[in-house]
Amino acid sequence: MSALWVIVPAYEEAARIGGTLQALAAQHDQDFTLVVVDNASGDRTADISRDFGRTAPFAVHVIDEREKGVGCAVDTGFRYAIERGATLLARTDADCLPRPRWTAAARAAMERGAGMVCGRIEARGDEHGPVGRAGFRALVALAALFGRLRPAHRRRHGYLAPYRMHAGNNMAITARLYEVAGGMPRRCSPTDRLFLNRVRRRTKSIVHVRDMVVENSTRRLRAYGVVATARWYLDKGSGLHGQDPR
């Protein structure tokens, strides 16, 4: 059984998860096990994933997490994999498209000694035009800058590593470090910065790998607008918008 397991939390992603699954099937490094965590979807997300698993080039597990919240789904998936022997963990989301070198880049970084790997996110080319993609890049840059400058993130607060931009839909971590850090916060979005800071208190070995690339959905821009999306990236949550369109 592979040491690397890929976790994909999914909530009502029947329209998009097929693309994510095909992107995983196109990976250059296919020596991994996939876990799709269906977060109590009311559509065919789980069925599509099971159908894919019948012909996938790697083992596919589809499990159910009834407690709502992306943090709950991710934590359940990671711990499920660890219990079954995973030592290396990677995560993307069910509306994202990992580029073909994604798993290879994640594995290589961890085998070189990284405890946690943060990749690069780009906007999906099939969901928005040039203006939307430029807006997405600007929001990502703003979030990264905010994270670096935020006083609460400074190393004098007990962090062992400097702040690095971390997107939950493009990350990898060793199983040992995941458990030592206490796992993903079991809550709704946003969870990424909370989890990163848990890890920063436990290790200096956090790296950014530019060729570990995931194409990210820009639908939050359409659902929230630029200002509200910026608030979301600054840890303000979905506010009055209700269910986060993740």
What domains can be seen in the chain, in order of their start residue?
4-237 (3.90.550.10)
Cα distances (angstroms) measured from residue 157 to each of 162, 163, 207: 11, 12, 20
Residue-level pLDDT, tens digit, the chain, 246 residues: 689 999 999 999 999 999 999 999 999 999 999 999 999 999 999 999 999 999 999 999 999 999 999 999 999 999 999 999 999 999 999 999 999 999 999 999 999 999 999 999 888 888 777 877 777 777 776 666 655 656 555 666 678 887 777 788 999 999 999 999 999 999 887 788 889 989 999 999 999 999 999 998 876 556 555 556 555 555 555 454 445 544
CA-nearest of 3, 239, 220 to 124 is 220
What residue type is assigned to position 111 of the chain? E
The burial of 149, by beta-carbon neighbours within 10 Å (0-12 exposed, 13-18 middle, 19 or more buried), is given as: exposed
* Bridge partner list, 108: none
Give the CA radius of gyration of the chain.
Answer: 17
Strands of 94-170 (E only): list them.
97-98, 116-123
Backbone angles phi, psi at 184, to 5 degrees: -70, 135
The burial of 155, by beta-carbon neighbours within 10 Å (0-12 exposed, 13-18 middle, 19 or more buried), is given as: exposed
The pTM score is: 0.86
* Bridge partner list, 62: 36
